[in-house]
A and B are shown apart, each in its own frame.
Chain A
Amino acid sequence: MTAFRALTGHEKIKKSLTGAIVSNRVSHAYLFYGPPGVGKRTAGMAFARALLCSGGGGDACEVCDECSRSKQGVHPDLHLIRPDGASIKIRQLRELCDGAVFTSFSEGRQVFLVEQADRMTTEAANSFLKTLEEPMTGVVFILITDELTGIPPTVLSRCLCYRFNNLSRADVTKVIMQEAGSAELAHTMAVLSGGSPGRALALLGGSAGRDRALEMALSLAVNSRSAMPVPPEEISGREGAQEFVNYLTVLFRDVMVVQQTGLGELLINIDRQDDIAVLAGAYDRREVLDILLTAEETARRLAGNVNQRLALDSLLLKIAGF
């Protein structure tokens, strides 16, 4: 449970939302959309808390009763709706929207935060629309979704839509710094995540995979063609294999960058510059491009349920120089 001022990035959106509260031009329905893991839910919660705050300053003051209740997640006028199983059923909406619910406990607003709004069934979406058509005082819906295409156009046209973008590398680094420990690791994960702090945090959890991939590549490069390459034992299951291939891809992308430009600052694995240099010396440009294309194909095959060991073999053989 946070507030706008603690949220990293999305400056324009924050400004717009706080401005709306301050100037009392709050609409009934909002839609937050964009790539996963960039802070939509956090922003939605911050907005909800700001709406309920009795200070009216545009952001949760953290002092008033409302803010302390919403912080603890026990505010009676703040309703969270999540998919029940695969979808958000109409029943869930009706339970909350019917009857007495429209009288707020604190004579102020009522906020409904709907996560994964693309999972609403058609009936649920229609009932949501009907609710919007009725006169309601103080009710605000905040829909959140990763998949804009899953939202019916009729719903879209009734909501104020805010697009959340990927964060800049600096911002992601800032968010995950504490978790990462070192500035370099934070940088690497920030770049790898493609601008999503959520993804970066997830990647941090699996950084051992990156080391494994690097070790494998180095040993193959150095002892090229000496023996049949074998993927590390720890790799199990499709996800493990995919992660392995992904790390190899990024490694050899760094090798390509070094070979083509010599610019160290463009590296993703910036904390492994020396190892990358070793690899760059062991292959020529054409081989590296070849390896990258093979890796792409391997990733595609793995996604298609192919024999995992065979798929990995073809890539490792390429790297080993066969």
Chain B
Amino acid sequence: MSYMALYRQWRPQLMGEIVGQEHVTVTLRNAVTAGRVSHAYLFCGPRGTGKTSAAKVLARAINCPEQRDGEPCNQCRICREIVVGSTMDVVEIDAASNRGIDEIRELKENIKFFPSRASRRVYIVDEVHMLTNEAFNALLKTLEEPPDHVVFVLATTEPHKVPLTILSRCQRFDFRPIAAEVIARRLGQVAEKGGFTVEEGAMRAITRAAGGSLRDALSVLDQALLLSNSGTVSADTVHGILGTVKEEALYGLVEALARKNTSGVLTLVDEIASGGQDLHLLAGALAERLRGLLIAMLAPDGAAESPSQFFTRDGLIRGIDLLLEAEQVMRRSAHPRVVLEVALVRFIDGGGRPSNAELLARVEQLETALIGASASGKSAADSASKNTEADAAVGQKKTPSPKLPEPAAPAPGFAGGVGAAPENESVNLSSSDRYGIEQIRKWWPDMMQEIKRVNPAAYTYLSLVWPAETKDNCLVLGVPAGDIFSMQMATDEPIRELLVRTLGAFTRDDWTVRCSYYDAPPPGWDARQASLEPEEAISLFRGQEVTPSGDLDKN
């Protein structure tokens, strides 16, 4: 007895029987009904979605004298002849096996003959992208000026390999991957007709493996039927054919990963491996499952499946990365099992590579440390006055500011004088609050220079005040007691804003600024008070130096 594969038994004989491609079949039927059939069609799409079937049905529909609604009758002599293949009027060329220019030449020679019995000659060229360039060119010539009695139906899984010159001359139809439910429904029909049943788990496994191709699904079902003696196709059988892992095993693995149960994970992998199942497919299936969890986590309605609660978003992303990498390496490795196990252990360990958030925090710390070090380095290199300022800073350190979260880290040997100051400063920096008053004072000269650059007037007023203390990101400026003018100037809105901005640039933090009367600036402060240079005064008032003429005395 000859074996005919399920997919051949169930090849659709009518447009209406082609599932999942209504956008194509309805259009074609309408075209046939209206008598407006194009000269050349191009059917593109993944394998097993109905391209060849549609081509064959179309060939019959065009030629069938009894066609109804764009469907062939499949009964009349012409239809039957086409089905059997005994007519010269419908020619099927498989470009995969006949790539050559000879076939196309033959085609061109025969094309001028009118159809013998049918109304049009139909040439169906399957896998047309496999034609050689010469063959394409020959075909192109014919496509450019097709005789009225000829229809070309080209089919291909790789439209990008078809030259544009041909593409542009065909009416293109794109076949989509068939949805899983549609495939399942079709398989259900096949099962009913065939008198057997398919378990739900088996159906799911088949449709998942089919990947949108009905032919692939039917092939798997074929194989499964061979191995199912009891008339029921079980999930076990299907998994055995596909080499995939049962869903329960997959869930178990994900759960164990979620609970960081290394023993559980490795035991399950052992079970799966010793059952002889395919570990590459397991890695892929796991990655897919984690991806599902990630999507569920990110979804706005966040339907929380239980395992996803145990994972962090970054953790899932990392896990998927690890598994995909493992899948690749497994292919070339002599020990795919070890590769998979290492990937799973690394996933659970979480360690080895710190998360991006941790790295970012550390980088920020380093940045601040660097700025502080360079600022203190600068001030140390400057004149002695700056050194005494450092002293003052050191001295100030001993009186803890209120409310500052200063971790108690009294550096030993602190009182050991100026010589030790530079190192102490860096210790100071790392151990104390970064934005303490000493830090602000250290930065004050640079900040003032910056302000001077932007707004010299502000600089002048601000040079009359000094940073007195800091309280929770609020800088209190010290104004000499009784100096109302300075107080007014320092609290002026634009000046205050500028200072806040500059503080922000230096400390990368938000500040507020207040002023308060103090008796005196900190010791050593006055030495820094630069007096206004003449040039600065001139530029300040945007003036010009003029030499008074002798006439000035007259006034």
A positions within 8 Å CB-CB of B = 12-13, 15-16, 19, 25-29, 122, 126, 154, 156-158, 160-163, 165-171, 191, 194-195, 242, 246, 249-250, 253, 256-257, 260-263, 266, 285-286, 289, 292-293, 296, 299-300, 303
- Please tell me if the beta carbons of A256 and B229 are within 8 angstroms of each other in the complex: no
- Please tell me if the beta carbons of B267 and A263 are within 8 angstroms of each other in the complex: yes
What's the dominant secondary structure at chain B's contact region?
Answer: helix
What's the dominant secondary structure at chain A's contact region?
Answer: helix
- A142 → chain B closest CB, angstroms: 13
| Given the contacts A168-B274, A263-B267, A249 and B335 also touching, CB distance less than 8 Å | yes
Is B541 in the interface zone, CB < 8 Å from A? no
Contacts of B277 in A (CB 8 A): 165-166
Which B residue's beta carbon lies closest to that of A254? B338
- Please tell me if the beta carbons of B263 and A194 are within 8 angstroms of each other in the complex: no
- Please tell me if the beta carbons of B237 and A256 are within 8 angstroms of each other in the complex: no
Query: Can you identify 12 A-B contacts, CB atoms within 8 angstroms?
Result: A26-B1, A28-B3, A157-B7, A162-B226, A165-B243, A165-B278, A167-B276, A253-B338, A256-B345, A260-B263, A260-B345, A293-B342
* Those of B219-256 within 8 Å (CB) of chain A: 219, 222-223, 226-227, 229, 237, 240-241, 243
- Please tell me if the beta carbons of B338 and A292 are within 8 angstroms of each other in the complex: yes
Contacts of B335 in A (CB 8 A): 194, 246, 249-250, 253
Contacts of A303 in B (CB 8 A): 332
6 smallest beta-carbon distances between A and B, as pairs: A166-B276, A27-B3, A169-B274, A261-B263, A195-B276, A12-B227
Report the count of interface residues on B (CB-CB < 8 A): 44
Is B2 in the interface zone, CB < 8 Å from A? yes
In the complex, what distance in Å separates the CA atom of A170 from the CA atom of B275?
9
Contacts of A26 in B (CB 8 A): 1
Is B262 in the interface zone, CB < 8 Å from A? yes
Encode contact with A along B277-299: 1 for CB under 8 Å, 0 otherwise. 11000000000000000000000
Task: Please indicate which of the listed interface residues B3, B229, B267, B333 has the most CB atoms of chain A within 10 Å of its own CB.
Answer: B3
In the complex, what distance in Å separates the CA atom of A160 from the CA atom of B2?
11
* Contacting residue for A296 out of B270, B276, B278, B329, CB 8 A: B329
B positions within 8 Å CB-CB of A = 1-3, 5, 7-8, 97, 219, 222-223, 226-227, 229, 237, 240-241, 243, 262-263, 266-267, 270, 273-278, 329, 332-339, 341-342, 345-346, 349, 351-352
Further contacts, 10 of them, CB under 8 A, given A122-B97, A126-B97: A12-B240, A160-B226, A161-B219, A162-B227, A163-B223, A165-B276, A246-B334, A253-B335, A289-B342, A289-B352
In the complex, what distance in Å separates the CA atom of A246 from the CA atom of B333?
9
| Given the contacts A27-B2, A157-B7, A166-B277, A299 and B338 also touching, CB distance less than 8 Å | no
Contacts of B2 in A (CB 8 A): 27-28
Which B residue's beta carbon lies closest to that of A303? B332
In the complex, what distance in Å separates the CA atom of A29 from the CA atom of B352?
53
| Given the contacts A122-B97, A246-B335, A299-B334, A16 and B226 also touching, CB distance less than 8 Å | yes
Contacts of A266 in B (CB 8 A): 266-267, 270
